[in-house]
Structure 1
Amino acid sequence: MAADLFGWEGFRSSPGGLSKPNTLQKLPFPPVTKRHILNCSFHSWYLRYRGITPKARLLPLPPPFISYLRADGIVLPPDDNDRTEWSDSDSGIFSSTDNVSETDNEEEEDPSAQWRDIHQTIKLIIEELGGKIVPKLNWSAPKDATWIAATNSMECRTPNDIYLLLKSSDFVTHDLEHAFDGCEDDVITEGSEHEKLLTQSIPYFLILRKHITLNPSLEFRCFVRRRRLIALCQRDLNHFDFLFSLQDKFRDIIQQFFDLRLRNSFPDENFAFDVYIPPPHDRVWLVDINPWAQRTDPLLFSWLELLTLPEPPPLGPSELGTISLPLALKTNITSNPIRSLCNDIAPAKNYNSYKSDSASTSDTEEDETDIFIPEFRLVRRDDPEAYGFTTPQYSAHKLPRDVVDASRGGEGSLREFATQWKEVLAKQNQEDSEDGTED
């Protein structure tokens, strides 16, 4: 069920359990192009689907800001308001403001000197969006860096909150340095000037979304192959019993949403998209669009499954009729809110009841064979694989547990941990020096 991110075909069996994989399998992906990756960038699709996705602001990033994100170390701009926030949350160790002498040096080396306009604009956007936002870059949000935030989440209230998350995230680093990895448009030598120019040509954006409290059990990832919705699953990998009674309804409304909004309007025929269905579960919000590539987590599926699922039948006249009206209105898509979705189209058939009621005539039996039902996977209570889902997400990108525990311990914990860490390093350096003298 879990993603086979490294393409391993299988594991060797041994008396003690699973051991290292023995063969490497190349998954049968269609060629992944740079254009496909750019089409999935937030700035490429947001304006097209602005009416059906949560409110966001896009801020083009100049080269000096990109250089700041790529630079080693975490040095935050000196801002009086932000500095007060960091002092209150005991995070000054990351901005080098522990004492007055370091503060003076910091003011001389303001990392935002070349992009102060960006810094001020971010402040204004945060205020405009209610004082709390969630950041992301073109493709990735810094979900793997929430351990470093005082709130242990992606909620940001100041520009420095944003910078701290972005500079601590491996996901963001991937956007900056490896956005086109695996693409087959050009043969690019790693570290070559061609690669550097290609990476620099990407129009990077900082996306600031209004912070809203989402119920993670109502987020779903959907997979599209050849413009057909072939599979969907929950994003939060924990068991939620209530989802099973709503499974058919969610499948139907997501299918309607896809037919109406995405099938013929997104430029690529293969992609994955994330949706959120808030109570009372009569509308669908588009959260993100992801590449049809191995970098996208297939969650409850494996990529080999998604690539080899039975081919859906061609689009029939009834399905084409369903999307003819929305296609006529697609030029005005941003002004047609998703709340009118259920009034614009007829309710989708309930596939299970349709099967049970349609066994009387041969004509209906023929129609039955033409219906393709996307596979909808949920985490079951007795699912053996589900026991592994309780482990923290993105654990491979986190610091040791001591650091995480210190960040959650309230005021004084981080400073105490930093002091202890310095003492350990000093003692280790002293021992190394003594060993060198004895030799």
Structure 2
Amino acid sequence: MSLFPKLTQQDILAFQFSSWYHQFSRVSIKSTIIRPLGEDFIRYLSADGVFVPEGSEDIPAQSSLSDDDGDDEDDDSDPPERYAFPELDAKIRIAIKEYGAVFPKLNFSSPKDASWVLPAGSPLKCTSPADVYLLLKSSDFVQHDVNADSVFEGCDDSAALDSPYSLELVLKKWYHIDTSREFRCFVRNNMLIGISQRDCNFYDFLNEQGTQKKMIQAINLFWDSEVRQNWSSKDYTFDLLLTRDLSRAHIIDFNPWAPRTDPLLFTFEELIDIDGNEATLPIFKVIDSRAHPAATQNAPVHQHNMVPLEALALGSGRDLEDFTRELHEEIKRTAVHDQGGK
């Protein structure tokens, strides 16, 4: 038996944010979708280096050129390509004004691996277009969405798409999320068979029998009443956030039943072998001790994508939040200089 069904390109597009959000907006985080994004924005995301487009900050750009830098005007090298997205900036500012702050993602992927570029005290909180661009440019994850070849890798492409793939920017209302209440749910043959903790940290309260029973009941009820009859395919996963009282939930995302989706505390082999006896389902998995092999240790998540070596010089004698804030400002100052800001 194959672990994964053969998916078409149209099947994959059903999981992009704009395809499902309006159906589930009542039980999802408030969001603004901007699409399509132009070829110039795709070139910007694909360009080397981390820099912000001109005019994307909420303060007038200040030149970092000194009087001693005038000799650079005779430099015969080609100037870097300049990027500016005034219309997109305006749309982002409208969303920020409405929500107070936003967290961005593209069609499928969010830039969680780039959280280090914004202040640690407010992870992934964007209050200007420049913040949005910095997160997207610093992320490896979102590059998956930029190229249609990677989006549809492994798909059966014999069926034509109803419409061409186009990049979209999603701006979710930002608020501090208690990641201990985030779960990934696995549905196979239209049965909720597994629930996995998403945040790989050990939490005592998640191992309390009464708490687990309450969470399983809430997730089961939410899936049965809000998701089951409103999702077209029979094999899929979805991510949700339980409310503080553990009685209700909000949809975070949907993902295909495919190798690209992380099974977290399960393996897909385990999930396939789960007995279909509804009385024993869903199987609930959490980090049950600090020694659990999947538990986060001292190394930060996504450490491979964090701080370049040359940036470490900025951090001497500073705590993490001060360092991150100064690094953020240094990136923006460098961007203004490189883009010829005045």
TM interval, short-chain normalised: 0.7 to 0.9
Q: How much does 1:148 deviate?
A: 2.3
CA distance in 2, matches of 1:405, 1:55: 39
Residue equivalent to 2:65? 99
* Contact 1:380/1:386, CA 8 A, preserved across alignment: no
Q: How much does 1:40 deviate?
A: 0.8
Q: 2:107 aligns with which of 138, 149, 155?
A: 138
Q: 2:190 aligns with which of 217, 227, 242?
A: 227
Seen in structure 2, the aligned counterparts of structure 1 residues 384 and 244 have a Cα distance that, compared at 3 Å, is: closer
Report Cα offsets for 1:161-212 as digits up to 9, x if no partner.
111111111111011121111212349xxxxxx9xxx8x9312211001111
Residue equivalent to 2:229? 264
Residue equivalent to 2:164? 201
Residue equivalent to 2:58? 82
- For residue 172 of structure 2, give the secondary structure of its aligned residue in structure 1: strand
State how 1:10-21 maps to structure 2 within 5 Å: none
CA distance in 2, matches of 1:82, 1:284: 35
CA distance in 1, matches of 2:2, 2:22: 33
Q: TM-score, normalised by structure 2?
A: 0.80
One-letter code aligned to 2:29: P
Q: How much does 1:399 deviate?
A: 4.3
Q: How much does 1:386 deviate?
A: 4.3
Q: Confirm whether residue 68 of structure 1 aligns to residue 44 of structure 2.
A: yes
One-letter code aligned to 1:226: N
Q: 1:157 aligns with which of 127, 151, 154?
A: 127
Seen in structure 2, the aligned counterparts of structure 1 residues 207 and 33 have a Cα distance that, compared at 3 Å, is: same
Q: How much does 1:111 deviate?
A: 0.6
Q: 1:122 aligns with which of 75, 87, 92?
A: 92
Q: What do you get for the CA RMSD once the two structures are aligned?
A: 3.4
- For residue 230 of structure 2, give the secondary structure of its aligned residue in structure 1: coil
Seen in structure 2, the aligned counterparts of structure 1 residues 388 and 401 have a Cα distance that, compared at 3 Å, is: farther
CA distance in 2, matches of 1:75, 1:212: 26
CA distance in 2, matches of 1:80, 1:238: 36
One-letter code aligned to 2:42: I
One-letter code aligned to 1:82: D
Residue equivalent to 1:53? 28
CA distance in 1, matches of 2:103, 2:92: 12
Identity of aligned residues (%): 34
CA distance in 2, matches of 1:128, 1:417: 28
CA distance in 2, matches of 1:50, 1:415: 33
Q: TM-score, normalised by structure 1?
A: 0.64
Residue equivalent to 1:329? none
Q: Confirm whether residue 183 of structure 1 aligns to residue 155 of structure 2.
A: yes
Q: How much does 1:411 deviate?
A: 8.2
Q: Confirm whether residue 42 of structure 1 aligns to residue 42 of structure 2.
A: no
Seen in structure 2, the aligned counterparts of structure 1 residues 406 and 38 have a Cα distance that, compared at 3 Å, is: farther
* Contact 1:227/1:264, CA 8 A, preserved across alignment: no
* Contact 1:133/1:209, CA 8 A, preserved across alignment: yes
Question: Which shifted more, 397-406 or 149-158?
Answer: 397-406
- For residue 141 of structure 2, give the secondary structure of its aligned residue in structure 1: helix
Seen in structure 2, the aligned counterparts of structure 1 residues 388 and 286 have a Cα distance that, compared at 3 Å, is: closer
- For residue 82 of structure 1, give the secondary structure of its aligned residue in structure 2: coil
- For residue 275 of structure 1, give the secondary structure of its aligned residue in structure 2: strand
The gaps in structure 1 that reach 5 residues or longer are 1-25, 88-96, 188-193, 314-369, 419-439
* Contact 2:200/2:295, CA 8 A, preserved across alignment: no
CA distance in 2, matches of 1:253, 1:289: 18
Report Cα offsets for 1:328-372 as digits up to 9, x if no partner.
xxxxxxxxxxxxxxxxxxxxxxxxxxxxxxxxxxxxxxxxxx624
CA distance in 2, matches of 1:279, 1:233: 18
The gaps in structure 2 that reach 5 residues or longer are 332-342
Q: How much does 1:225 deviate?
A: 0.7
Quick check: which one's helix share is greater?
1
